[in-house]
Amino acid sequence: MILSVSRRTDIPHYYPEWFFNRIKEGFAYVRNPLNPNQVSRIDLSPEVVDCIVFWSKNPKPMMERLDELAGYDYYFQFTLTGYGKDVERNLPDKKEDLIPTFQDLSARIGKERVIWRYDPVIFTGKYTPEYHLKAFGQIASSLRGYTEKCVISFVDLYAKIKKSMEALGAFEIGKAELMEFAGDISKIAGENGMSTGSCAECLDLDQCGIGHNSCIDKTLIEKITGSRLKAAKDKNQRPACGCVESVDIGTYNTCKTGCIYCYANVSKKSVEKSCGVYDPASPILCGSLNEKDRITERKVSSLKECQLCLFGG
């Protein structure tokens, strides 16, 4: 099993104590987002978890406890953009805090295990293509030697963020300009020793030097673990998503960063309500069991087939 921590919320930033308690106890409960009274018990033992994929904009709160993950393989998707607090409201200063955190994490676990995400790209009167290229270049220069890969995507106008995007004045650019922008991004990344991939983009950017990326990346996980994986494409993601199947232990409406492009929160009020019942000792993130819940053991197992080193890679 590949464990996703988490597409639904920033667990490394806001809930590291809960996560490490779950690792220590060896299991977590996860509510079905579409059927809240259906609860799955997820085995988190090292024998079952082949790799953990962390998603975060600020993993600093958990970094001093990485030794507690001995026995687990893992890597980080680290989102670092050029937006200000009008878009990403509750993040520390990027130049003073987040870039040094990225560099520190990379030095600790290796640059191949920290993927830089510059996404989603939103175009507005303030955040023009020129602005993004300048910001991207500055960040790329700071991360040179600290990562091997950058992932980009362009904002998807989900219904729940449409109003906030309109308020921001977001607009689309023409295909020719978009392709030129993507090519410039790829060039800047290459000059800083990074390859570039796209996240769940229907647009073919191969000619720009940007391939379709897999954020839950079978090839990278096989490299990290030294084992072949029998892992299928994740059918629960968008058609253009290249990720392989994983199990997510996060909870929607619990991320406190306040990004206006967030699809995982319904509203600020819903986040406040969820966070108000946070208990790091609970087996469910920002929740507890009740008499209506039906708990089932989710069938999970290792996806490893064989050791790469024994079968020629």
Q: What is the mean pLDDT of residues 42-69?
A: 98
Average pLDDT on 27-41 reads: 96
Check: CB of residue 196 under 8 Å from CB of residue 152.
yes
What pLDDT shows up at residue 241?
A: 81
* Chain mean pLDDT for the chain: 94
Residue 204 has pLDDT above 90, yes or no: no
> Residues 56, 243, 26, 36: is their CA dihedral positive or negative?
positive
Mean pLDDT of 31-46: 96
pLDDT confidence band for 162 (50 / 70 / 90): confident
Q: Which helix (H) or strand (E) holds 63?
A: helix 60-63
How many Å is the Cα radius of gyration of the chain? 19
Identify the band that residue 310 occupies on the pLDDT scale cut at 50, 70 and 90: very low
Q: How confident is the model at residue 238 (pLDDT cuts 50, 70, 90)?
A: confident
Give the model confidence (pLDDT) of 89-127 as tens digits.
999 999 999 999 999 999 999 999 999 999 999 999 999
- As a whole number of Å, the end-to-end CA separation of the chain is 21
Whether 309 shows a pLDDT value over 80: the answer reads no
